[in-house]
Each structure stands twice: as structure tokens, then as C-alpha cells.
Amino acid sequence: MTDQSPPFLSIGEPDLTETEIDAVIAILKKGWLTRGEECQRFEKDFCEKVQASHALAVSSCTAALHLALLIHNVGPGDEVILPSLTFASTGHTIVHCGATPVFAEIDPRTYCVDPAHVESLINPKTKAIVAVHYAGHPVDLGSLRRIANEHDLVLIEDAAHALGASFDGEPIGSGKSVACFSFYTNKNITTAEGGMLTVPTEDLLARAERLSLHGLDRDAWKRFADGKKWRYSIEEIGYKYNANDLLAALGRAQLSRLDEMQAKRRRVWDGYVDRLNGDERFILPPEEGRIEHARHLFVIRLTEESGIARDDLIDHLRAQRIGATVHYDPLHLHPAYRDRFGTTEGMLPVTEGVAKNILSVPIHPKMSEEDVERVVGALKDFS
């Protein structure tokens, strides 16, 4: 008997071609594997793509977030405002610095942090705001920049989902910003694990680079390039967050295909919108003229009137071999945050209300029309 069940459709998958394979093999043949010239080329290409002035390739977006806080001297006694509808890293890196995370509400339409609520939480201890471009929908950068300027705060963008997005025509990660990108395996480009930090000044870049490699003044490539001089100086207690040339080769190849992969994501996205629009049980992701969405996640919200239990719908999709999941159970409701910071259910009614009713369905460049049909069919036939 043959297995007639359709292949499992995962929520996100990398799109890898001969371009990526050739690029990685070329580095293997060359033999310099750790941070070297290829990382520098990746940083240059990335800057061109998002119109950034300075970029540092690192081992993950988590590393980039941690470095972004450290280069602004966020530490014990400081408060940092962030949304709760996010991944562990956004909060954990604040805690790693010894600072206190303060959770702000989200906008119930975009699921990005609500600038008015952010402003209401500011007090003399507030040092920074970490804003998440949720699912690839840019935050309201205009309002958040105004608030940060008026209160002399640092604005850090968690752009893990946002490569390819723009706000008022300005690519996320461009010159004015401190932004942190992820190249984890399901992201809009992948290096398996990896990330990029973009910063507006040379000084911030130099500090981030130093902290990303144990606080050394020169990495191995610079020492090698300088006639193999072995000496280095440890300027401060840093971390091991550097990228490497293998990762960078994969990243450059993926970046060269970003527009093509974004176009494929858009086809999947439009397929969902065309087929699900008008079904009153579902609220679809918002999109308006001012923003370009990165289309990293396709998040559907169930209306209260639908009467659908979100978890039952996820089980139904999974039974049909369709990956569906939730981004995210709010951070403030997890034991690690409740226990340490005394956060409680009920403190963020908008976030909690949204989080209960959302689910993410598959979106990635390798999905076909039939895949989209399958997901839509499974959503529609749930009762």
C-alpha cells in the first residue's frame, strides 16, 4: 500500500538553489572559514540593500539585539520598553543586560507596539525602546522616533521579520536606525543561523564589532591581513557573537535572490488574501499605502463572532498535514517573566485578546498555488 497523504506543508522553509551551494563550496575550497573578507562583503551588500550606512554580521538576531543594547550602555537600573507579543530574545537580551523589561500594549490592527502606550510608560529610569516589526509589518517609526527624540531614548528595531519591509519608502534597517535582523532558517533570507546589526555611526559599529569578539581590538582576519602579527589587546569583556565566512557566503547568495523570493512570498500572500477576503470569521493582515510589508508571516485573527476555538483550528490544520502555529504567547505570561518581574494576566488586555485568537499559516517562497489552495480549503471547511 502506498501512503496517499500529502507532504507536510511547513510554516516556513528556506529556498536554496545552486547559487547558494556554489557560494558555500567556493568558501570551503578557499579555506578561510571564520570571520574574514566574505563577512565584509556581506555587510557591504546588506548596507546597499537596506540603505544602511554601517552593518555588522553576527551569529544571530539575538546577538544583534544584545549588542544593540550594550553599545548604548543599557544596564542595571535601566528600564526598556518592548511589546509582549514577541519572541523570547526581545525580552531576554534586556534581562541579560541587567535592565528591567517593561511591556507595552500593541496596536490591535498591526500587532506592533502602540506608540501612545509606550509614551505613557516613560519615566526617569527608561533608557530604550525595543520595537518589533511584527510578522514583517513595520512599526510606526515616525511616532516612535519622535517619542525617542523627545525623551532622549534609544530606539532599537527588532527587525527579525522585516527584511524587505519599508516605512514611508525608507527600507527597514536604513541609515537612521539601529536594527537587528535574523537569518534563522525560516526567515526571508537564511544563513541557517545568523543575524545582522545595522547602526548609524562608525563609533557604534566599532564598539559592536569589539563586543562581538570578546572585546578584542582586532579579529583574526585583521591580524592575518597585518602580516600575521599575533598581538591583540582585550579592551573590554566582550562576547562570542561574530559571524563567519561560510555563513556570509550563504547570506550573500540569498541576498542576491531576495527580490525574487519576496515576489514569490507576495504571490502566496495575495493568494490567501484573494481567497479569504470577505470570510467574516477571519481578520487578515493589514496593509496600507505607507508601508511595504516583508510578508514574513501570514497571521490570521479569528473574530470573536466566529466562535472558532483557535487551538482546535490548529489541530484541524495539522491533521491535514498543514503546519500552523502561534506567534506568540505573550512574553509577560511566561513563568520566567511572571516569577522575576511579577507580570500578570490582565495587565495587557489588548495584547492578550489578540494573542488568544491568532494563528500563523504557511508562507514561504517554495509554496505553489495548490499549496495555497490546500491551506485555504482546510481553513474554510473547518466548522
Residues classed as catalytic: 187
Dihedral angle over CA of 371, 372, 378, 383, nearest 10? 180
Q: Which of 115, 195, 238, 285 binds ligand PLP (CB under 6 A)?
A: 195
Q: Is 90 in the site for ligand PLP (CB under 6 A)?
A: yes
Q: Which amino acid is at 194?
A: G
Q: Is 83 in the site for ligand PLP (CB under 6 A)?
A: no
The 10 Å Cβ neighbour count of residue 201 is 13
Q: Is 157 in the site for ligand PLP (CB under 6 A)?
A: no
What kind and span of H or E run contains 82? strand 79-83
Closer residue to ligand PLP, CB minimum distance, 250 or 372 = 250
Q: How far is it, in rounded angstroms, from Cα 270 to Cα 293?
A: 12
> What are 175's three cell numbers?
541609515
Q: Is 190 in the site for ligand PLP (CB under 6 A)?
A: no
* Cβ atoms 97, 75 nearer than 8 A: yes
Q: Is 182 in the site for ligand PLP (CB under 6 A)?
A: yes
Q: How far is it, in rounded angstroms, from Cα 201 to Cα 263?
A: 32
> What are 18's three cell numbers?
545552486
Who contacts 332 (Cβ-Cβ below 8 Å, separation ≥6)? 84, 103, 338, 341, 343, 344, 347, 348, 351
Q: Which of 42, 78, 86, 272 binds ligand PLP (CB under 6 A)?
A: 86
H helices of 85-184, in order, are: 88-96, 115-120, 141-150
Q: Which residue has the cell 506543508?
A: 9
CB of 142 to ligand PLP, least distance (A): 21
Q: How far is it, in rounded angstroms, from Cα 368 to Cα 6?
A: 13
Q: Which stretch binds ligand PLP (CB under 6 A): 34-42, 83-91, 115-123, 163-171?
A: 83-91
E-strand spans in 109-174? 126-132, 154-158, 166-167, 170-171
**How long is the chain?**
383
Q: Which of 36, 47, 60, 130 binds ligand PLP (CB under 6 A)?
A: 60
> What are 325's three cell numbers?
502555529
CB of 113 to ligand PLP, least distance (A): 12
Q: Is 254 in the site for ligand PLP (CB under 6 A)?
A: no
Closer residue to ligand PLP, CB minimum distance, 154 or 372 = 154
What kind and span of H or E run contains 137? none
Closer residue to ligand PLP, CB minimum distance, 186 or 320 = 186
Q: Which of 132, 204, 211, 308 binds ligand PLP (CB under 6 A)?
A: 132
Closer residue to ligand PLP, CB minimum distance, 182 or 212 = 182
* Cβ atoms 114, 81 nearer than 8 A: no
CB of 62 to ligand PLP, least distance (A): 3
Closer residue to ligand PLP, CB minimum distance, 199 or 372 = 199
Q: Which stretch binds ligand PLP (CB under 6 A): 47-55, 117-125, 155-163, 234-242?
A: 155-163
* Cβ atoms 64, 181 nearer than 8 A: yes
H helices of 277-342, in order, are: 310-319, 335-341
Q: Which of 89, 174, 188, 254 binds ligand PLP (CB under 6 A)?
A: 89
Q: Is 160 in the site for ligand PLP (CB under 6 A)?
A: yes
Q: Is 62 in the site for ligand PLP (CB under 6 A)?
A: yes
CB of 265 to ligand PLP, least distance (A): 16
Q: How far is it, in rounded angstroms, from Cα 250 to Cα 2?
A: 37
Q: Which of 24, 27, 50, 61 binds ligand PLP (CB under 6 A)?
A: 61
CB of 59 to ligand PLP, least distance (A): 8
Closer residue to ligand PLP, CB minimum distance, 196 or 213 = 196
Q: Which residue has the cell 514611508?
A: 168
Closer residue to ligand PLP, CB minimum distance, 86 or 281 = 86
Q: Is 184 in the site for ligand PLP (CB under 6 A)?
A: yes
Q: Is 242 in the site for ligand PLP (CB under 6 A)?
A: no
| Interacting residue ranges for ligand PLP, rule: CB under 6 A | 60-62, 86-87, 89-90, 132, 158, 160-161, 182, 184, 195
